[in-house]
Amino acid sequence: MVDSIQRFSTRVGDYAKFRPTYPRPIIDLLKSNCGLTEASIVADVGSGTGILSKLLLRNGNRVFGVEPNEQMRSSAEKFLSNYQQFTSVDGAAEATTLKSHSVDLITAAQAFHWFDRIRSRVEFARILKEQGWVALIWNERRLDSTPFLRAFEQLLLQYGTDYQKIRHENVTGQIADFFAPQELQVESFENVQTFDFESLLGRVRSASYTPEPDKPSFAPMIASLRKIFEAYERSGTVAFEYDTKVYYGQLDA
């Protein structure tokens, strides 16, 4: 558990600058299918640097950003300092510190795969109001939809430290069990992020499974990254294509 909390500590600046936001239609989905209104109270669990929290705050919601990593929590507090509806919480999915039956919606963006699924489910059921909802969200990078993305995936397989082990797709089969016996629903939205080389480098550094700059494999990885960029850039940029997946449902108490 300690590793999953601390592994982003040295990557917060790159994470805040170079990770993608989420497409606006996911807010429309939460409104139409999960009862989200401006009056809804939201717990954004594993809120990180506040990327999803900002979308919810712009919708008018009161948002509790629950984040166990001190550096990421501090980044979110600065990023969202203009939103009086935001409350930063030093807590975790398994122990949010929030009051029982106090929130209408729980979100977890790019975070659920780090949770203890059994303990977090108990905690989510505790803090949700009756008829509350849970939405688990990921920007899933497409692995082979373009020649650039195929080459980039091979780079991660070659240089990633524990890339295959901790990929969030590894827990997809466990999501239905998390919501059972309630029904799980899934929606997908297209999302695109473009990079020049410096921003692509920042995006790579933001991933917890890439080597740190002081590691021997870092320089060769960057050299390979530059070759890939130069081979596939168009007008000075390359693109990550994502499928933004939203897994949502309710929990039995």
The number of beta carbons lying within 10 Å of the beta carbon of residue 191 is: 20
pLDDT of amino acid 1? 35
What is residue 26's predicted lDDT score, i.e. its pLDDT?
97
Give the contacts of 77 (CB within 8 A, at least 6 positions apart).
Answer: 88
CA gap 94, 182 in Å, rounded: 20
Looking at residue 14, its pLDDT comes to 87
Distance of alpha carbon 97 from the chain centroid = 21
Contact assessment for residue 54 and residue 79, using Cβ atoms and an 8 Å cutoff: yes
**Helices and strands, counts by H and E, the chain:** 11, 7
Cα–Cα distance, 207 to 211 (Å, whole number): 9
pLDDT in tens, the chain (253 residues): 335 556 555 678 888 899 999 999 999 999 999 999 999 999 999 999 999 999 999 999 999 999 999 999 999 999 999 999 999 999 999 999 999 999 999 999 999 988 999 999 999 999 999 999 999 999 999 999 999 999 999 999 999 887 766 655 556 778 999 999 999 999 999 999 999 999 999 999 998 889 888 889 999 999 999 999 999 999 999 999 999 999 999 998 7
Q: How much is the pLDDT for 2?
A: 37
- Domains of the chain, CATH where assigned: 2-141+166-192+242-249 (3.40.50.150)
Q: What DSSP string runs through 148-164? A: HHHHHHHHHHHH-SSHH
Q: What is the predicted pLDDT for the residue at 8?
A: 57
Q: What is the pLDDT, as a whole number, of residue 161? A: 80
Give the span between the Cα atoms of 208 and 39, in whole angstroms.
Answer: 35
Residue 234 phi, psi (nearest 5): -130, 120
